[in-house]
């Protein structure tokens, strides 16, 4: 295997007097399944915003496949293999989900400038859109407007949109947020079905999911990395237990 796909080095960010990212370094390699956990306000989303290019860091570097992308815009990072989903849903409510996936495919293939014609003109992309939705268990809902899908299913569509970009690194910000417990298994199945070589960083509060899915866990507290290691290591970490996990 070659070097890490994503490297974050000494990232630092302040909002006025609030120090939200404190000298954070982390690294993701192909096939990684990493959970980023920490209490509300720990700075998890802000960290992902900086990695994806939504927010500029105050200091530090972000490297994708060894290349410094700290100053590059979001779209450029996407083209280099970085995709993310958002904590809050970003789907267009009235547009059929297969069209939304197709639009992401058009974007990837640089066909977006041809505006919206018909997927019928692009049978290979139409098939790929179907395959992505099927992979996430959504083949029956492909023609539905997003608003008709259950919230948990909408979150799966967002993962489909991210996967449409054929990323090497996928950042998931609380994909379970707002999803009823009863639909949790669908998300877990979708996560299990992700390409093996993909590097996945998932922010998640559901500790059952975190400990079932992640092979490495990074704990963020007050903007800084408090601990990092295997699930066993994190479970046994006294400071983590005290600060975050309670007495589970």
Ligand X SMILES: Nc1ncnc2c1ncn2[C@@H]1O[C@H](COP(=O)(O)OP(=O)(O)O)[C@@H](O)[C@H]1O
Radius of gyration of the chain (CA): 18
CB burial string 75-88: b at 16+ within 10 A, e below: eebbebbbbbbbee
Q: Which residue, 104 or 221, has its beta carbon nearer to Mg ion?
A: 221
Q: Which does 43 bind (CB under 5 to 8 A by kind): Mg ion, ligand X, none?
A: ligand X
**Residue 45 or 135 with smaller CB distance to ligand X:** 45
Q: Are 98 and 133 in contact (CB under 8 A)?
A: yes
Q: Which residues share a beta bridge with 100?
A: none
Tell the residue number behind the tokens 């979150």, with chain if given.
155
When CB distances are held under 5 to 8 angstroms depending on the partner's kind, the choice from Mg ion, ligand X, none that residue 46 binds is: ligand X
Give me the residues that bind ligand X (CB under 6 A), please. 15, 18, 20, 38, 40-46
Q: Which does 57 bind (CB under 5 to 8 A by kind): Mg ion, ligand X, none?
A: none
Q: Which of Mg ion, ligand X, none has residue 116 at its interface (CB below 5 to 8 Å by kind)?
A: none
Count of C-beta atoms within a 10 Å radius of residue 121 = 10
Helices (H), 136-168: 151-163
CB of 202 to ligand X, least distance (A): 13
Which lies closer to Mg ion via its Cβ, residue 45 or residue 141? 45
Across-strand partners of 68?
Answer: 63
CA dist 99 to 14, 135, 145, 187, Å? 39, 16, 9, 22
Q: Considering the complex, what minimum distance in angstroms separates the CB of residue 45 from Mg ion?
A: 3
CB-based contact 179:88 (threshold 8 Å): no
The strand pairing partners of 82, in sequence order, are 169
CB of 54 to ligand X, least distance (A): 10
Q: Choose the contact partner of 99 out of Mg ion, ligand X, none; CB within 5 to 8 A by kind.
A: none
Identity of the residue, 74 or 130, whose beta carbon is nearer to Mg ion in the bound complex: 74
CB of 36 to ligand X, least distance (A): 9
Measured from the CB atom, the residue of 81 and 175 that comes closer to ligand X is: 175
Contact set with Mg ion (CB under 5 A): 44-45
- Closest contact distance (angstroms) between CB of 87 and Mg ion is 5
């Amino acid at each position: 295997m070659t070097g890490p796909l994503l490297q974050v080095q000494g990232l630092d960010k302040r909002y006025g007097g609030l120090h939200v990212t404190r000298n954070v370094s982390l690294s993701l390699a192909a096939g990684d399944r990493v959970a980023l956990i920490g209490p509300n306000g720990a700075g998890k989303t802000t960290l992902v915003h900086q990695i994806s290019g939504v927010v500029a860091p105050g200091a530090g570097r972000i490297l994708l496949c060894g290349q410094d992308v700290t100053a590059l815009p979001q779209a450029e990072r996407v083209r280099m293999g970085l995709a993310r989903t958002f904590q809050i849903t970003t789907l267009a409510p009235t547009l059929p989900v297969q069209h939304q996936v197709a639009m992401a495919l058009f974007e990837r293939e640089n066909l977006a400038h041809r505006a919206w014609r018909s997927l019928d003109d692009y049978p290979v992309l139409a098939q790929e859109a179907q395959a992505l939705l099927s992979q996430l268990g959504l083949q029956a809902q492909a023609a539905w407007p997003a608003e008709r899908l259950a919230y948990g299913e909408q979150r799966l569509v967002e993962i489909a949109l991210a996967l449409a970009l054929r990323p090497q690194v996928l950042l998931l910000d609380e994909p379970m947020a707002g999803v009823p417990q009863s639909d949790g298994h669908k998300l877990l199945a979708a996560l299990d079905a992700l390409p093996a070589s993909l590097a996945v960083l998932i922010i998640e509060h559901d500790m059952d999911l975190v400990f079932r899915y992640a092979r490495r866990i990074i704990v963020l507290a007050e903007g800084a990395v408090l601990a990092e290691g295997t699930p066993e290591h994190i479970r046994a970490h006294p400071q983590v237990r005290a600060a975050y996990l309670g007495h589970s």
